[in-house]
Amino acid sequence: MTDIRYLEDLKSFKIDVAHISYVMGIVDKEGFLGHAYFGKHIADDDASYLMRVFEPPFTPEKNERDRLSFYDCFPFEYPTHGIGDFRESAVRIETGSGNYANSLTFRSHRIYDGKEGIQGLPATWGNAADTKTLEITLEDKEAGIEAILYYSVFEGIDAVARHTKIVNKSGKTVYLTKAASASLDMDNRDFDKITLFGSWARERHINRTAVNYGIQGMCSRRGEPGHQEHAFTCLMEKNAGQNNGEVYGIDLVYSGNFRTLTERSQFDQVRLMTGIDPEDFRWELKDGASFETPEAVLVFSAEGLGGMSRTFHDIYREHLIRGYYRDKKRPILINNWEATYFDFNAEKLVNIADCASKLGIEMLVLDDGWFGNRFDDNRALGDWYVNEKKLEGGLKKLAEEVNRRGMKLGLWFEPEMISPDSDLYRAHPDWAVHVQGRRPGLARNQMVLDFTREDVTDYVYSLIKKVLQSANIEYVKWDMNRPLSDIGSACLPAERMGEFHHRYVMGVYKLQERLVTDFPKLLLENCSGGGARFDAGMLYYGPQIWCSDDTDAVERLEIQEGTALIYPLSAMGAHVSDCPNHAVGRTTPFETRGHVALSGTFGYELDVTRISEEDRKLIPHQVELYHRFNDLVRTGDYYRIASFSENHAFDCWESVAKDGSEALVTCVNVRKTANVKSRRIKLFGLQENASYRLLNEDGSDFVQTMGEEGKTLYFHGSTLMNAGINIPDTWGDFRSRLIHVKQA
Ligand code: GLA
């Protein structure tokens, strides 16, 4: 049951949803808003004792002489800067006179069904029947500033979506130099934390450390989340693991510079905070103006990391992702990037389509190199008109050829970029992000277009729209291949240059919104040099994101495990590519590459006309597996059974139907362990008393005993979940198998 209440006698707010409670209290005659509790559901309304306001140093109304001691230990729901809470503040506002001390106290609240969107930003959504929202308005009377805190909850989901709006009513212009989306003060419970780190071709690896005293955090100053860091953190009890223990996850619905931190204080409290990174942020707020932060999603799980992941998957699948393909199986695609790089022409592409269509592949995606003078990656970004030297007859003809073979056509764009060697740059050098008078740093020989400018985004969009209208293009891969540097916009005045990064991201969002509005059936896949912009913000516009340029089956195990910690498998762009792998040079069986990619959106990234006959023959079978299992993978519950990144030998995960009627288990034996005969795994999410049959992917029984050949064996859910099954160890490395667990 979803319930949000303001308890007048207790001066507290209580949010109850699914299995969780979230409690805040108003303290002192001044009305400080404190955080009392977030966690497993509690029955009592009065949880104010958890804020410890009756222990020394008391509240200012009882002990004015030690006001600072109160400030420095009170669990503020949205801590301010400069008045004596010396921990990290959520908000910092410079007045016209340069002061930056603020104090926010309670003024009013509002509770309503449904949820409003955030102006210009992606956010979770819900309707009046399944979503409730609490708004709490805090004010700084002296400074004339309001902060409105938003809390939305969704029926059946153990999560709270939060964001904040800052309103200037001071009569003067002020500058916002920090505005966190959410802050959460808790007692330290010997917490560990998990963050995700990486690099190009090695994104989102899991990193578990202790929460230490002082500030620890992750942030990006690249203008996008980047390959290196991720706007996600979870706190977990020391003994918590995959399936047990209490875990708090926080993820930011944002695609720009972010900062997520923990601060462990002298009193052994922990402050967890997330929002836009303040380093390069300074927002001018004229009198009457307001600023809305991105949204943060807070998840609580009493069932370890797995419970947290499943909640994130549910909220993102049901209340974030939108559009035509949200609940649909996506077409199996073949992308020509690793097949041809820039060396292609219409004939080559049609040959690939011809061969692919016969194998059951459903869409050809034409990647980089189809436009302008783009014969290599040194030129032509921004010139979004077809290169007929490469594509005789243009995209229309190509689409017709591809469609004639029963396939769809998809196309790559990198809308935010401009090459110094492009017609666009020659016509509009000032459209590139740069600091006047300073030689800009290039990356992949390209610059970034100033997406804070509407004339720039309008122009780029007009070209994209024209291309999409010129042929039957049913998919777009929106790429972004360099971080932002040398920040400067010809159109932003000096005092507002600190708004650049956030305005840039809003420019990207606006254009993607236009794209999906004008082309409602278009399948949009976001990408950034692989997975540098795999974040919840992008999922609001497109239902899937390219996970990584690394398609090696082994590397993908760690990348996909880290990604699936937060994001549903339906969102993870995963393809089978050729070997030796182009990112790491490793050779793995074609079958294993297929099994790993089947846990994502699925497709191919190779020249199907040139791979071995043996591999090619496996494609129709993989296509059939995709059609057989994708509903389960896309909509089911995800359980991590074994982790190669932890045990260095064996990886295993399961997608199980919400009703427990069937499951797909994927096992990858990465490194053969000498003299190990089999591994025991326990399954999850099945019905205790139902009877199940275990099947291999060819439909034969996955036999567990040395019993009679051909005898069908049935197991109860309780046996599979408590006693488990044996997975025979393989001969050699990189071998994998699928097990279909089907209710009899
Ligand atoms: C990025 C993408 C690749 C490919 C290339 C094209 O690296 O991640 O998949 O599209 O750009 O230049």
Do 698 and 624 meet the contact criterion of CB atoms below 8 Å apart?
no
Coil vs helix vs strand at 464: helix
Q: Has 549 been annotated as catalytic?
A: yes
The pLDDT confidence band at residue 703, using thresholds 50, 70 and 90, is confident
333: Cβ below 6 Å to ligand 1? no
- The alpha carbon of 318 and the centre of ligand 1 are apart by a number of angstroms equal to 29
Give tens-digit pLDDT for 253-300: 999 999 999 999 999 999 999 999 999 999 999 999 999 999 999 999
Ligand 1 centroid–CA 479 distance in Å is 7
Q: Does ligand 1 lie within 6 Å of residue 34's CB atom?
A: no
**193 close to 208: Cβ distance less than 8 angstroms:** yes
Mean predicted confidence (pLDDT) in 323-329: 98
Closest ligand 1 atom number to CA of residue 377: 12
Mean pLDDT (whole number) for 492-512 = 97
Mutate to test the pocket of ligand 1, among 335, 377, 479, 528 (most ligand atoms within 8 A of CB): 479
Q: Which of 28, 251, 479, 578 is catalytic?
A: 479
Atom of ligand 1 nearest to the CA of 527: 8
Cβ of 478 less than 6 Å from ligand 1: no
What are the backbone angles phi and psi of residue 714, rounded to the nearest 5°?
-120, 145
pLDDT tens readout for residues 503-519:
999 999 999 999 999 99
Measure the CA–CA gap between 293 and 308, rounded to whole angstroms. Answer: 24
pLDDT at 329 over 70: yes
Considering the chain, what percentage of its residues have pLDDT values greater than 90?
96
Residue 705 banded pLDDT, cuts 50, 70, 90: low
Q: How far is the CA of 344 from the centre of ligand 1 (A)?
A: 15
**Tens-digit pLDDT profile for residues 421-472:** 999 999 999 999 999 999 999 999 999 999 999 999 999 999 999 999 999 9
Task: List pLDDT tens digits, range 391-423.
Answer: 999 999 999 999 999 999 999 999 999 999 999
- Residues counted in the chain: 744
For the Cβ of 337 lying below 6 angstroms from any atom of ligand 1, the answer is yes
**What is the spatial distance between Cα 90 and Cα 149, in angstroms, rounded to a whole number?**
12
How far, in Å, from the CA of 243 to the mean position of ligand 1?
A: 36
Confidence grade of residue 712 (pLDDT, cut at 50, 70, 90):
low
What mean pLDDT do residues 677-697 have?
96
Residue 523 CB-density burial (10 A; 0-12 exposed, 13-18 middle, 19+ buried): buried
Q: Tell me, in angstroms, the distance from the centre of ligand 1 to residue 199's CA.
A: 15
Q: Which of 478, 481, 482 to mutate to test the pocket of ligand 1 (most atoms within 8 A of CB)?
A: 481
Cis, bond preceding 122 (omega within 30 deg of 0): no
Pairing state between β 603-605 and 576-577: parallel
Which of 336, 337, 548 best tests ligand 1's pocket when mutated (most atoms within 8 Å of CB)?
337
Q: 530: CA distance to ligand 1 center in Å?
A: 7
* Pick from 291, 221, 289, 297: nearest CA to 253: 297
Atom number in ligand 1 closest to CA 528: 8
DSSP state of 674: T
Q: Span 193-209, mean pLDDT? A: 98
Q: Is 430 a catalytic residue?
A: no
- CA nearest neighbour of 275 among 118, 432, 445, 465: 118
Strand bridging mode 205-210 / 544-546: unpaired
Determine the average pLDDT of the residues in 184-211.
98
**Residue 743 burial (CB < 10 Å; 0-12/13-18/19+)?**
middle
Lowest mean pLDDT among 55-69, 221-235, 577-591, 612-626: 55-69
527, two tokens: 């990408």
Nearest CA to ligand 1 atom 2: 529
Q: How confident is the model at residue 1 (pLDDT cuts 50, 70, 90)?
A: confident
